[in-house]
Amino acid sequence: MNLRQLPLSLALTAAFSLPAQAQSLVELYGAALNFDAAYQSARSQYQANLSKAEQAKAGLLPSANLAVGANRYNSTSNVQSFEQTYGNQVATISASQPLYRPANVATAAQGKKSADVALAQLQAADQELIVRVSQAYFDVLAAGDSLDFVKAQKSAVSEQLASAKRNFEVGTATITDTREAQARFDLVLAQEIAAENDLRVKKVALDQLTGKAGAAPKPLSIPVVIAPVTPDNVNNWVDISEQQSPVVRQARLGLDVAQLETQKAQAGHKPTLDLTGSYTKTHNDGSSNLSQDSNTNFAAVGLSLNLPLFAGFATQNRIRETLALEDKARSDLEAAKRGVAQATRTAFFGVESGLGQVKALEAAEASSQSALDATKLGYQVGVRINIDVLNAQTALFDTKAKLAKARYDVLLAGLKLRQANGTLTAGDLDAVNALLVK
């Protein structure tokens, strides 16, 4: 709602009807962080990916096992007429430590890369949430502005309709003026109904995103001074995107993972060496030869070497497969760089174009207001007709609505530019917050 752009009576009414607990963009973003289902899903996926990455280290760490068994035997003979019962209990502890397993080393390195990918994915989800909250925030403000302008236009058309009726009654105007004013009034009523519904829908969308019932965004403080793009060179934004963009980082990490997968495949030709050890304790409750109990302890320490000789060309074909996938990952990285660069350039030029539109519409607003004032004066002295006044009013309020929407669009475009090159953070919302009504 832009109070300075409304007639005095409507501005005063709007000022006193502002929600007592209006929220800023930062506040609503904070609410969405803890409520939005899509972001909660991304955060849970991030935690799962971190745990999965830790699993990759298991191949480099020792492993230990405990095995326990008990047996009972019964022996009888119909020749010698005897029956013997005995048993034993066995407990074994075994452990192994990989000493040389190049495939496991590559797997552990892949796990670390996977954790980095998970972080990039979470950052992308956070940036997406910032843009979605900002979009919903500005959609509500734009819909509210449109409704205010339609109401202001309805008030102006109503005054013009009453004037046309009075002039017709005293014989200074034709019935055409009255009918034209009535038709314009009916059209504005239809626009008001549509604007009210649009505002209702936009508010529901914001409530659903933030989890706040009746969320009330703070409007922009008039006059609005929007800072220019910094840096003002599109190539600087593109250069930053190659290092900061989560999309590019994920593609680059994907190439690293593919290269490590090739190392794993090549390890199929290499030997493995493990340090092994075991300790076994056996207790016998007699035996087939002895009646007394006995205990046996057995300990072993050794090295286990495994040298692959031939696996039916499986290893060679696996290496060819991973090399092809490595080329694919390299192409995907190049495609990601080009896509992000294109998106960054598009967003940059969108912001520059938006700033130009705002300046042009600000000038058009002043011109439309002057044209309306002149048309009203001409109507009063008889050199203008009623339809001229109605058209001038429509042009003015249409320009006001476009100007308000252009301001929101350029602020959102600035955030999307930072999202495109990967530098968008929650701190960027502070600059927008500074433009809101305190």
> Who's near 23: CB < 8 A, 6+ residues apart?
31, 212, 215, 216, 217, 218
Please tell me the predicted confidence (pLDDT) of residue 383. 81
Residue whose C-alpha is closest to residue 263's, from 110, 112, 111, 115: 110
Residue 213 pLDDT more than 80?
yes
Please tell me the predicted confidence (pLDDT) of residue 289. 65
> Who's near 362: CB < 8 A, 6+ residues apart?
403
Average pLDDT of span 312-316 = 93
Mean pLDDT, the chain, integer: 89
Residue 83 pLDDT more than 90?
no
pLDDT band of residue 177 (cuts 50, 70, 90) is confident
> In whole angstroms, what is the distance from residue 156 CA to residue 389 CA?
10
Average pLDDT of span 156-167 = 85
pLDDT band of residue 5 (cuts 50, 70, 90) is very low
pLDDT band of residue 80 (cuts 50, 70, 90) is low
Which is higher by pLDDT, 76 or 340? Answer: 340
251 is written with which tokens?
A: 């593609």
3-state secondary structure of 230: coil
CATH code of domain 3-34+101-270+308-433: 1.20.1600.10
Residue 290 pLDDT more than 70?
no
Average pLDDT of span 86-93 = 90
Please tell me the predicted confidence (pLDDT) of residue 43. 95
Q: Say whether pTM exceeds 0.75.
A: yes
370 is written with which tokens?
A: 């002057």
* Amino acid identity for residue 237 in this structure: W
Q: What is the pLDDT of residues 261-286, one digit of tens each?
A: 999 999 999 999 999 999 999 988 86
Residue 354 pLDDT more than 80?
yes
Please tell me the predicted confidence (pLDDT) of residue 7. 39
CA angle (308 as vertex; 304, 313 as ends), nearest 5: 160
User: Would you list the DSSP string of 69-99?
Assistant: EEEEEEEEETTTTEEEEEEEEEEEEEEEEEE
DSSP bridge partners of 92 = 67, 280
Domain parsing of the chain, residue ranges: 3-34+101-270+308-433
Residue 195 pLDDT more than 50?
yes
> What burial letters (b/e) apply to 45-78, b meaning 16+ CB within 10 Å?
ebeebeeebeebeebeeeeeeeeeeeeeeeeeee
Please tell me the predicted confidence (pLDDT) of residue 82. 63
Return the half-sphere exposure (C-beta side, CA atoms, 13 A cut-off) of residue 289. Answer: 1
Please tell me the predicted confidence (pLDDT) of residue 6. 40
Run of H or E residues at 407: helix 386-421
Please tell me the predicted confidence (pLDDT) of residue 3. 40
Return the half-sphere exposure (C-beta side, CA atoms, 13 A cut-off) of residue 92. Answer: 12
Average pLDDT of span 403-421 = 96
> In whole angstroms, what is the distance from residue 365 CA to residue 342 CA?
34
Size of the chain, expressed as the number of residues it contains: 438
Residue 302's alpha-carbon distances to 101, 273, 276, 308, 325, in angstroms, are: 17, 11, 5, 20, 39
Residue whose C-alpha is closest to residue 325's, from 268, 263, 269: 263
Residue 352's alpha-carbon distances to 295, 329, 356, 359, 365, in angstroms, are: 87, 35, 6, 11, 20
Please tell me the predicted confidence (pLDDT) of residue 88. 87
Residue 12 pLDDT more than 50?
no
**Total Cβ atoms within 10 A of residue 303:** 9
Please tell me the predicted confidence (pLDDT) of residue 288. 60
Residue 207's alpha-carbon distances to 204, 213, 237, 399, 400, in angstroms, are: 5, 6, 34, 29, 27
Burial bucket for residue 214 (CB in 10 Å: 0-12, 13-18, 19+): exposed
3-state secondary structure of 286: coil
> In whole angstroms, what is the distance from residue 339 CA to residue 345 CA?
10
Distance separating the N- and C-terminal Cα atoms of the chain: 14
pLDDT band of residue 160 (cuts 50, 70, 90) is confident
> In whole angstroms, what is the distance from residue 27 CA to residue 45 CA?
25
pLDDT band of residue 321 (cuts 50, 70, 90) is very high
